[in-house]
Structure 1
Amino acid sequence: MQGIADYEFVRPLGESNYGTNYLATAPARLGIPAGEVVVKVIAGPTSDDAFRRATRELKHFSVADSDRLVAVYDAGRQGGAFYYAMEFLPLGSLERPHVEIGTAQRVAAVRDAALAAHALHERGIAHRDIKPANVLLAEDGGRLADLGLSQLLSPGMVTTGLGQIGLEFTDPAIMLGAQASRASDIWSLGATLHFAITGSGVYGELRDTEPLLLVRSILASQPSLSPDLPPAARELVEACLAADVAARPRTAAEVADRIAGLGAELGSAV
């Protein structure tokens, strides 16, 4: 395969928000023990557009300064494309694990995603796309990935583009034009926790795949929780999904603390 800069691509890993991810060999200059990294290549309709997207995402990674976010090692520009290199987590994601994992490990990954989200929120940033595909599995828990849709929590700022957003894990208020917030990311954490424990979304099996039809289907529905949720987990998911944002946990750090307390219900420490 081809590569970019001194990164030799091993294989494509799929699309992410505003970019394509590749598994690549890690050049020695990075000074990291890993032999492989993920390289995200961002190429917009114009170089200015690509630059805006890339710099926004990298800035949000850097200012959050959380070890629960995927580590970024390098960034650069080649031709009209921008790229950055980040850590490769071979265990896969909550959506598509590459190994068999237990419920406690899946829930621990969501706990760490909540800690990463809190770090972003404390710097005034909303992730906007917390979903199982963006919660990567690590030996010590998980990492939150893909800040391609992240935005500043500015008063009056409204989301107008959904991109490749995970709609069934998105606060329905966002689809109606509400401002991204701590509360909207907390809704997504609750839906992701439900998936981690039960293997299903809070809307069951959604048949529509075309975005507008999917939005319409979701807005015409109400979240329905699986009977497989243990009581304390159900209470937490219900709180995260509350229509009244004042009834939701105040911070993602609170969500992480409550997830950590689910160990007894799940049969092992989280």
Structure 2
Amino acid sequence: MDGIADYEFVRSLGTGNHGEFFLAKTPQRLPVQSQFVAVKVLSGEKSEDVFRRATRELKAFAAVRSPHLVALYDAGQQAGVVYYSMEFLSDGSLAEPANTLDTSRKLLAVASAARAAHALHEAGIVHNDIKPANILLGGDGSAKLSDLGLSRVLAPGMTMTGMGSLGSVEFTDPTLLHGDPPSRASDIFSIGGTLHRVMTGRGLFGDLPNSDPVLVLRRVLSSKPEVSADLDQNIAAIIRDCIAEDRAERPTSAAEVADRLEALAA
């Protein structure tokens, strides 16, 4: 794909939930200083109803003011294909960083995602898809939470409680799989799962099958998340608190998690 609307694509940035990201030249009409933006083109043609609901979610996301959230610029539909553009961060994501990250940078990046989640929560929004691939890294050392979980909008009838992709399962609160609604607590579980993956390279549920949803769900539902014994005890304590089986025993806010991570990084 060479572009969409007046966005001229430079290269693909990889795939995400329900679509592909592209690096694009910033159209002159956008009041953005940066030369480039990131554009997500959502997979497949979407109905007008889906476009309206997706746009409503994006507007809500964009209305939340936080330096820890990726800025959203624009959304549209061309020939039935939905797309939106947002701030481009040059150093990849926590899943695929452009450079080697030390412990402090990892802790601060997850803390930034927790700050962003708290801002969303205070506005009544649950992100619903916090994971390393959705924490983007700037060349200036910043980190921002991206890609609002639109799966429940784009595919409202899907199973697996509206999760965006098979790769999101290890970061998903098991209580969601049992039918509980998304909440602050479920995003906090995802922050804990993200921290564990970033610090150890392993998931809370071990190595999950990468092609069979039934086997993945069976593994997650039949086992308990396990924190690596090799972790620093202070980091391990934060993860254990975030993933407590009883939601009421988890930190009361994502901001509390961010405070603890920033204290460790310092």
State the TM-score, normalizing by the size of structure 2.
0.89
Matched, 1:21 2:21: yes
Equivalent residues of 1:242, 1:248 under 8 A apart = yes
Over the matched positions of the two proteins, sequence identity in percent amounts to 52
Contact 1:50 1:82 survives alignment (8 Å): no
1:189-219, CA deviations, whole angstroms, 9 ceiling, x for partnerless residues?
0111112222221122223532221011111
Other-structure match for 1:223: 225
Over residues 68-115 of structure 1, what are the superposed CA-to-partner deviations in whole Å (9 max), with x where a residue is unaligned? 111112223323123221111121111111112212111111000000
Indicate the residue corresponding to 1:162 in structure 2: 163
Amino acid at match of 1:184: S
Counterpart amino acid of residue 249 in structure 2 = A
Distance 1:131 1:231 in 2: 22
Would the aligned equivalents of 1:159 and 1:177 in 2 still touch at CA under 8 Å? no
8 A Cα contact 1:134 1:145, kept in partner: yes
Quick check: 2:128–2:182 contact (8 Å CA) kept in 1? yes
Deviation at 1:244, TM superposition (A): 1.0
**Which 10-residue stretch deviates more, 178-187 or 25-34?**
25-34
- Secondary structure of the structure 1 residue equivalent to 2:162: coil
Give the structure 2 partner of residue 91 of structure 1.
Answer: 91
Name 1:155's counterpart in structure 2. Answer: none
- Structure 2 regions of 5+ residues with no counterpart? 154-158
Structure-2 change in CA distance of 1:149 and 1:74 (3 Å): closer
CA offsets 1:128-175 (integer angstroms, 9 cap, x no match): 1111111111223311111133779xxxxx984333160001111111
Letter in 2 for 1:85: S
Counterpart residue number, 2:141: 140
SS in 2 for 1:56: helix
Per-residue deviation, 1:226 = 1.4
Q: What secondary structure, in the 3-state scheme, does the structure 2 residue paired with 1:30 have?
A: coil
Change (3 A) 1:208 1:19: closer
Counterpart of 2:59?
59
Corresponding letter in the other structure for 1:135:
I
RMSD: 2.2
- Counterparts in 2 of 1:252 and 1:150: CA distance versus 1, 3 Å: farther
Q: 1:177 is paired with a residue of what secondary structure? A: coil
Instruction: Report how far residue 45 of structure 1 moved.
Output: 4.5
Q: Does the CA-based 8 Å contact 1:109-1:142 persist in structure 2?
A: yes
Hey, what's the Cα distance between the residues in 2 that align with 1:81 and 1:8? 16
Given residue 213 of structure 2, which amino acid in structure 1 is its aligned partner? P
Deviation of residue 231 (structure 1)?
A: 1.5
The corresponding residue for 1:245 is 247
Counting matched residue pairs gives 259
Q: 1:52 to 1:43 in 2, by over 3 A?
A: farther
Any gaps of 5 or more consecutive residues in structure 1?
153-157, 264-268
Change in CA separation of 1:77 and 1:140 when aligned onto 2, cut-off 3 Å: same
| Change beyond 3 A, Cα 1:148–1:207 | closer
TM-aligned CA deviation for residue 43 of structure 1: 5.3
Secondary structure of the corresponding residue to residue 215 of structure 1:
helix
The verdict on how the C-alpha distance between 1:160 and 1:56 changes in structure 2, with shifts beyond 3 A counting, is: farther
In the alignment, what sits opposite 1:32?
32
* Partner-residue secondary structure (3-state), 2:89: coil
Q: Which residue identity does 2:261 align to in structure 1?
A: I
Does the CA contact (< 8 Å) of 1:44 and 1:50 recur in 2? no
Confirm or deny that 1:194 pairs with 2:200.
Answer: no
